[in-house]
Amino acid sequence: MTRMHLVHPNSLSDTVNAVNEAFFFEAPIPNAARREAAAWIAARQGLPGAYGGLFAGFPAERSTGIQLFTGERVTSASARHILGEEACRALRLLNVGEPATAAALGRANDWLADRLRLAAAHSPRNNDGVFCCGKCTVGLWRHILSGGLDRHEHRLQLGLTRLRAERTINGAWRAFPFWYTVLALAEMDGRQAREELTHAARRIEAEAHRPARPSPHATRRNTLARRALAHL
């Protein structure tokens, strides 16, 4: 039997996306692979280059940015922040229960909760469901959807109210990466999320009917498009 490897030794983003891929396509993850990936990710908490108390990427990821699960590229502070949020999500999904992993995730969660509180209090562009920019905000939502932070419903309601205000006439949103946003919306329940997916439905439908393409990101977007339509 071929052993599943989720860890990419020189890339936190590739490792996190390997975890995302397994859960997105509901691939069974052996316990050994879960423990290995969780321990490896947890060991990146608070290292040089991390966004505050979150999880650190490698020098190349900090200098050139990262590619999100849905293919969009982000750079600079946004890349560092989103990578930290996605690492938190990955650890929650892996759910191994090891003390060292739980401690690293707890420290990251506490640091982020404090950071969000300060941001909401000191900047009019932030609230409890919005942080920094559209890209970073979706990363925050994905963490929340995995069970991170607190006041989940309240945070997502506030965030989706901001998303609605950023709608464009072509079925997208200003400053919010389209497919990364759809990825989060497809996991949400409730009227607000369905309304935003309906706003984007024409573009989502076009992707759902595209012929198969070999790119992993294209495959993910096509699968996501079909799931998002089923969510309406």
Q: In this model, does residue 217 exceed pLDDT 70? A: yes
**Rounded distance between C-alpha atoms, residue 96 and residue 84, angstroms:** 18
Whether residue 2 is contained in a domain is answered as: no
Whether residue 7 is contained in a domain is answered as: no
Q: Which domain holds residue 98?
A: 12-231
Residues 123-175: tens digit of each pLDDT? 888 899 999 999 999 999 999 999 999 999 999 999 999 999 999 999 999 99
Question: CATH number, domain at 139?
Answer: 1.50.10
Q: What is the pLDDT of residue 157?
A: 97
Residues 51-82: tens digit of each pLDDT? 999 999 999 999 999 999 999 999 999 999 99
Whether residue 36 is contained in a domain is answered as: yes
**Rounded distance between C-alpha atoms, residue 114 and residue 112, angstroms:** 5
Q: What is the pLDDT of residue 122?
A: 86
76-94 vs 134-145: helix axis angle to the nearest 10? 10
Is pTM beyond 0.75? Reply is yes
Give the type of residue at 33: A
Report how many domains make up the chain: 1
